[in-house]
Amino acid sequence: MTTQQTPTATTPTWTPPPVRRDEFDAPGDTAEPMGSRAVGLRVAGVDKTYATRRGDVHALSNIDLEVGRGEFVSLVGRSGCGKTTLLRVLSGLLAPTAGTVEAGERPAWVAGRRDDTVFAEFGLVFQEANLFPWFTVLDNVALPLKLRGVSKAQRRTRAAELCATVGLSGFEDSYPRELSGGMRQRAAIARALACDPSVLLMDEPFGALDAMTRDRMNLELQHIHAVSGTTVVFVTHSISEAVFLADRVVLLTPRPGRIRSVTPIDLPRPRSVEVEATAEFGELVVGLRRQLDEED
């Protein structure tokens, strides 16, 4: 005689959309020094020229850069040096005038046309959170998954997990107008991470925040990067912020933007705000600021 077992209800689990992560990441790759680790992004000979009513503007010139898988790279430089232009080329929002962009050795641009399958693996965060005001936090975070056809149960589970990761537990049903600026940026970061991106591109995401909130967000971003292992390219005007967050800081010259220097940041992780009071941190900041002043 057999007995029937009544099935029990289970909570839906998050299953990422099918992607070929092997094309971006090397199996079993760990946090190794650049040179031995897999490349997340490669930029070779990239130029960008804008055509305007007043003539051509040469924004970027001969940019060569490799970013390792899971590495955090900060871009700094004077206003107008091309930091945001480079980030937009990397994100697929702008086509380079010359040169190549690769993600995991796959060309991102072919004959001036973007490969959407490559850029589907990228997450973007801008200075403004750009949340939909009529959506709750949970719905804003889950939106990229909805657009990819992920089931409602799965996308809500994933969105709730990400809200917890960025410190928004308890605010899932709040609307953007009910959040502080820092909390809105947390929601924007969670949304960018929703589809498990290989690369996260961030354009001065904390530039509009007050100093104390910015410090908290930097600590939060450091934690998110450690947990997710995502490759991050981060644009900022703050040299201190760049040094605090990055594995390497890339300094661009004034227009046309060229790479002036690439500075390794060997400060141990995780980093607390107290690291900014150390002599080593101060030397890195002063050295980068001196290079920036030499460009005047």
pLDDT in tens, the chain (296 residues): 444 444 444 434 444 444 333 333 333 333 344 444 577 899 999 999 988 888 888 999 999 999 999 999 999 998 888 999 999 999 888 889 999 998 888 888 877 788 888 888 889 998 888 999 999 999 999 999 998 889 999 999 999 999 988 889 999 999 999 999 889 998 999 999 888 888 999 999 888 788 888 888 899 899 889 988 899 999 999 999 999 999 999 999 998 999 999 999 999 999 999 999 999 999 999 999 999 888 76
Between CA 44 and CA 38 the distance in angstroms is 16
For residue 184, the surrounding DSSP H or E stretch is helix 181-193
Per the listing, tokens 């099918």 go with 18
pLDDT of residue 167: 85
Three-state secondary-structure class, residue 45: strand
Which residue type is seen at 148?
A: R
Per the listing, tokens 């290079």 go with 291
Closest CA to 123 of 236, 227, 234, 245: 234
Between CA 143 and CA 133 the distance in angstroms is 13
Per the listing, tokens 């804003």 go with 140
pLDDT of residue 187: 93
The CA dihedral of 63, 77, 186, 115, to the nearest 10 degrees, is -20
Per the listing, tokens 């004034």 go with 254
pLDDT of residue 37: 53
pLDDT of residue 296: 64
